[in-house]
């Protein structure tokens, strides 16, 4: 089976840095994705990690440790538009499974 855990909600202020953690326990693992989802909309792809280490893409970075079953998404220079849900997802055994998602609220 697969179990993917994320904090339910986080708050941060504009301009700050926030780290959203994801831990997973899966019987098969190919890679880990992060998606952003604004309320009532479809998720959009942010990042993908298949090897251990940090992947940087502009203000967003994602880290993976396969031995620890752990990933985080780092958002820098937060903007109000970053208020959204952030979904961690794992591929393994031919399917893509999502975590519960973390709702991020950015305040002025």
Partner 1 sequence: DGGITQSPKYLFRKEGQNVTLSCEQNLNHDAMYWYRQDPGQGLRLIYYSQIVNDFQKGDIAEGYSVSREKKESFPLTVTSAQKNPTAFYLCASSIDTVNTEAFFGQGTRLTVV
Q: How many CB atoms lie within 10 A of CB 46?
A: 18
What is the DSSP secondary-structure string of 35-92?
A: EEE-TTS--EEEEEE-SSEEEEETTEEEEEETTTTEEEEEE-S--GGG-EEEEEEEEE
95 makes contact with partner 1 (CB under 8 A): yes
List the one residue from 18, 22, 75, 87 that touches partner 1 (CB under 8 A). 87
Unique residue bearing structure tokens 């937060």: 78
Is 14 within 8 Å of 78 (Cβ atoms)? yes
33 makes contact with partner 1 (CB under 8 A): yes
Q: Closer to partner 1 by CB, 1 or 108: give it.
A: 1
Instruction: Give residues 6-25 in contact with partner 1 (rule: CB under 8 A).
Output: 6
List the one residue from 30, 65, 79, 107 that touches partner 1 (CB under 8 A). 30
CA 28 to chain centre: 19
26 makes contact with partner 1 (CB under 8 A): no
For the CB of residue 65, give the shortest distance to partner 1 in the complex, in Å: 18
List the one residue from 23, 26, 83, 91 that touches partner 1 (CB under 8 A). 91
Binding residues vs partner 1 (CB under 8 A): 6, 30-31, 33, 40-45, 48, 50, 87, 89, 91, 94-101, 103
């Amino acid at each position: 089976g697969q179990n993917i855990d994320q904090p339910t909600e986080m708050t941060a202020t504009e301009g700050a840095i926030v780290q959203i953690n994801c831990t997973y326990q899966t019987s098969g693992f190919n890679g880990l994705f992060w998606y952003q989802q604004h309320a009532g909309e479809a998720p959009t792809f942010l990042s993908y990690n298949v090897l251990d280490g940090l992947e940087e893409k502009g203000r967003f970075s994602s880290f993976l440790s396969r031995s620890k079953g752990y990933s985080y998404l780092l958002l820098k220079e937060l903007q109000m538009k970053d208020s959204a849900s952030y979904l961690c997802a794992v591929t393994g055994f031919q399917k893509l499974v999502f975590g519960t998602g973390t709702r991020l609220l950015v305040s002025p």
